[in-house]
Chains A and B, each alone.
Chain A
Amino acid sequence: MAINYLSGIFGPSLLKPLQQHMDAVIACVSLLPELIVNLNENNQQQAALLHEQIIAHERRGDELKAVLREHLSYSLLLPIPRRDLLEILQVQDKLANRARDLAGLVRRRDLRFPEDMREEYLRFLRCCVNSAVQAQSSIHELDELFETGFRGQVAEIMSRFLSNLDALETEADQLQSELEAKVMRKEPSLPAVEVMFLYRVLSWTGNIADYSDRIGSSLHLLVTR
């Protein structure tokens, strides 16, 4: 009894690895607010530790991504179109990369917002992280969605999650443009190079909400297809 072909027809489950990947990504993203707080308070040691953790989570995500990619190389019959699955995986990966890059940028340059903007930036960042966490919940809903064949009651719950995600993304957009306006008003009083990087931090932070929303759109396609 080498291989039994009846059990052989069942391919590797792809939902679990996708969810595990997302968990690693979220572990990475959700450390960002704490990192910013510690930098603001000049706790360099703690900040360095958090930065290391972010990098470690991102690496773990990459490993899980590789496993999933390998599974997808089989000729498999999947309940979700392979293209959509890969798209979701790619965006999740981008999410972790952005978080890692953002952490690297603020740490290396020891970048801090002007004091009167810090509270507002943290609010923006937390809003973006929330949208990522909402995307994670939606990814975890895939189990139940799969159980019902991607329709019905669970699909409605999923739709609610996704409109929630949309709302968070809109809020994040709003906060981002307000912050950008503030930076612009302060441009004359700040060093030009720092202004440039502050804009970059804002844009990268906003990306976190954007990517989360993109995961949401991919999931939306799955339930409406």
Chain B
Amino acid sequence: MEYNLILLILAGVFGLFMAWGIGANDVANAMATSVGAGALTIRQALLVAAVFEFTGAFLAGGQVTATIRSGIIESSPFISQPDVLAIGMLAALLGAGIWLMIASWRGWPVSTTHSIVGGLVGFALIAVGADAIQWGKIGNIVISWVVSPLLAGVIAYLLFLSVQVLVLRRKDPLSEAKRYVPFYIFLVGFILSLVTLFKGLKHIGLHVTTQQSYLIAVAVGLFLALLGRAVINRLHLDPSADIAFRFANVEKIFGILMIFTACGMAFAHGSNDVANAIGPVAAVISITQTGNVAQSSPLPVWVLLLGGFGIVLGLAMLGRRVIATVGKRITELTPSRGFAAEIAAASTVVLASATGIPVSTTHTLVGAVLGVGMARGISSLNLRVIRNVFMSWIITIPAGALVSILSFLILRAILLP
């Protein structure tokens, strides 16, 4: 019992550390787009992130948590030695956390998702061998890391094209913006809630039929669209701002849209990336409580709260600065572009969450930004950095695995009698 308590405490501490790292970096990236576009202040971004990261993790994060808990590592080799699996989960958390700290300190384009998956693979290889890994699932995950930025890129390209045709190229872009922006807000609410309703809610014990799901999603979308329209109508538009730049007020209206897409981004991120921190914690809890590796016990709510708390803590401590510096440097992504990138990234990530696939939110966002650039929407994109992102796909898994192996060996030496 004493021993299990130590494992639990360590899981809590490492999980918090990982969540803190995610908050400091990943979430900051997701929020910086809206801050850079001037749609949110840093303080508002922190608030939005705190609320919607948690909501996303709670309502739609179950599938990915399940994958991280039990979808990557084959549990049967651990039946006779559940302690090793628990220590391995701790090692994966610690390893991924350390690797993330090194990488973000060096500015490498590394994702939390890739690190934790690498970490899980690493310890399982050392503890048992290649048999302990569900290679088919890993294959799917790795393919989705290539597919998700591509998909987000295509969606963003089409969305930005639609804005050009429907609003920006028209005779009176201002009134067209007022007309169409609520529709885009509807789209955000509809897609995110539909995906959540289809897949996510069963983890919190709610069951809805397909028809109900569509109805609720339409209702959520409509509610948000009407809310958005009310905000737009209250918006103070200054015609003199349009003299220097004819689209100043149009961008202001898209700025309202970006508040909604920022919420969507935080929700999507929460639904996918919070699992990186709490999945292993949930596994350790399940093992210590039941004494077996079946992973059948439900996810305790306090673990979700721990994840949410860690993220907000990281965001408030370091993420604030990251948002400020990143936001300052990506002013090129004006609201009429940024919203397209954010809707595309958020939809793609939520879709991945629903299918239980852990993807990298930041890489998906990079893909979406590239899509806008392909539609001639961004004044210049540095392709060298894009190449580095591809490189990081190849490097992160072995690096995350290596650090996790070291952590595992050390932890095993200390914890296993």
B108 lies within 8 A of chain A by Cβ: yes
Q: Which residues of B contact A150 (CB under 8 A)?
A: 376
Q: How far is it, in angstroms, between the C-alpha of A64 and the C-alpha of B236 when the chains are bound?
A: 38
Q: Which residues of A contact B246 (CB under 8 A)?
A: 144, 147, 154
Interface centre among A9, A11, A148, A150 (most CB of B within 10 A): A9
Q: Which residues of B contact A147 (CB under 8 A)?
A: 168, 246-247, 334, 336
Q: How far is it, in angstroms, between the C-alpha of A77 and the C-alpha of B321 when the chains are bound?
A: 28
Q: Which residues of B contact A6 (CB under 8 A)?
A: 29, 32, 326, 330, 362, 365-366
Cross-interface CB contact of B325 among A4, A12, A14, cutoff 8 Å: A4
Number of interface residues, chain B, beta carbon within 8 A = 51
Count of inter-chain pairs, beta carbons less than 8 A: 131
B377 lies within 8 A of chain A by Cβ: yes
A interface residues (Cβ-Cβ under 8 A, vs B): 1-15, 71, 74-80, 143-144, 146-155
Interface centre among B105, B369, B380 (most CB of A within 10 A): B380
Q: How far is it, in angstroms, between the C-alpha of A76 and the C-alpha of B332 when the chains are bound?
A: 14
Q: Encode contact with A along B10-41: 1 for CB under 8 Å, 0 otherwise.
A: 00000000000000000001001000000000
Name 17 interchain pairs, CB-CB below 8 A, sorted by A.
A5-B385, A6-B330, A6-B362, A6-B365, A9-B381, A10-B333, A13-B379, A77-B378, A79-B377, A147-B246, A148-B164, A148-B173, A149-B164, A149-B375, A151-B169, A153-B169, A153-B173
Q: How far is the CB of B390 from chain A (nearest CB, A)?
A: 12
> Does A9 contact B325, Cβ atoms closer than 8 Å?
no
> Does B379 contact A14, Cβ atoms closer than 8 Å?
yes
Q: Which residues of B contact A10 (CB under 8 A)?
A: 329-330, 332-333, 378, 380-382
Q: Which residues of A contact B333 (CB under 8 A)?
A: 10
A142, closest chain B residue (CB): B379
B362, closest chain A residue (CB): A6
Q: How far is the CB of A200 from chain B (nearest CB, A)?
A: 40
Cross-interface CB contact of A4 among B326, B377, B381, cutoff 8 Å: B326
Q: How far is it, in angstroms, between the C-alpha of A83 and the C-alpha of B383 when the chains are bound?
A: 17
Known contacts: A9-B366, A10-B333, A147-B247. The answer to whether A77 contacts B381 by CB under 8 A is: yes
Known contacts: A5-B108, A143-B245. The answer to whether A148 contacts B169 by CB under 8 A is: yes
B interface residues (Cβ-Cβ under 8 A, vs A): 29, 32, 104-109, 160-161, 164, 168-171, 173, 245-247, 318, 321-322, 325-326, 329-330, 332-334, 336, 362, 365-366, 369-370, 373-386, 388-389
Q: How far is it, in angstroms, between the C-alpha of A12 and the C-alpha of B331 when the chains are bound?
A: 11
Q: How far is it, in angstroms, between the C-alpha of A162 and the C-alpha of B160 when the chains are bound?
A: 27
Q: Which residues of B contact A146 (CB under 8 A)?
A: 376, 379
Known contacts: A149-B375, A150-B376. The answer to whether A76 contacts B325 by CB under 8 A is: no
Q: Which residues of B contact A144 (CB under 8 A)?
A: 245-247
> Does B379 contact A9, Cβ atoms closer than 8 Å?
no
Q: Which residues of A contact B105 (CB under 8 A)?
A: 1-2
Q: How far is it, in angstroms, between the C-alpha of A41 and the C-alpha of B388 when the chains are bound?
A: 64
A6, closest chain B residue (CB): B29
Q: How far is the CB of A16 from chain B (nearest CB, A)?
A: 8
> Does B245 contact A153, Cβ atoms closer than 8 Å?
no
Q: Which residues of B contact A13 (CB under 8 A)?
A: 332, 379-380
Shortest 4 CB-CB distances between A and B: which pairs?
A152-B169, A11-B380, A79-B376, A7-B329
Name 14 extra pairs, CB < 8 A, besides A5-B108, A5-B389. Answer: A4-B322, A5-B388, A7-B325, A7-B326, A9-B382, A9-B385, A10-B332, A12-B380, A13-B379, A14-B380, A76-B382, A149-B161, A151-B169, A152-B164
> Does B385 contact A149, Cβ atoms closer than 8 Å?
no
Q: How far is the CB of A5 from chain B (nearest CB, A)?
A: 4
> Does B325 contact A151, Cβ atoms closer than 8 Å?
no
Q: How far is the CB of B179 from chain A (nearest CB, A)?
A: 16
Q: Which residues of A contact B160 (CB under 8 A)?
A: 149
> Does B382 contact A8, Cβ atoms closer than 8 Å?
yes
Q: How far is it, in angstroms, between the C-alpha of A148 and the C-alpha of B109 when the chains are bound?
A: 31
Q: How far is the CB of A12 from chain B (nearest CB, A)?
A: 6
A72, closest chain B residue (CB): B380
Q: Which residues of A contact B164 (CB under 8 A)?
A: 148-149, 151-152
B108, closest chain A residue (CB): A5
Q: Which residues of B contact A77 (CB under 8 A)?
A: 370, 373-374, 378, 380-381, 383
A12, closest chain B residue (CB): B380
Q: How far is the CB of A149 from chain B (nearest CB, A)?
A: 4
Q: How far is it, in angstroms, between the C-alpha of A165 and the C-alpha of B168 when the chains are bound?
A: 25
Cross-interface CB contact of B376 among A4, A71, A149, A155, cutoff 8 Å: A149
> Does A75 contact B169, Cβ atoms closer than 8 Å?
no
> Does A153 contact B170, Cβ atoms closer than 8 Å?
yes
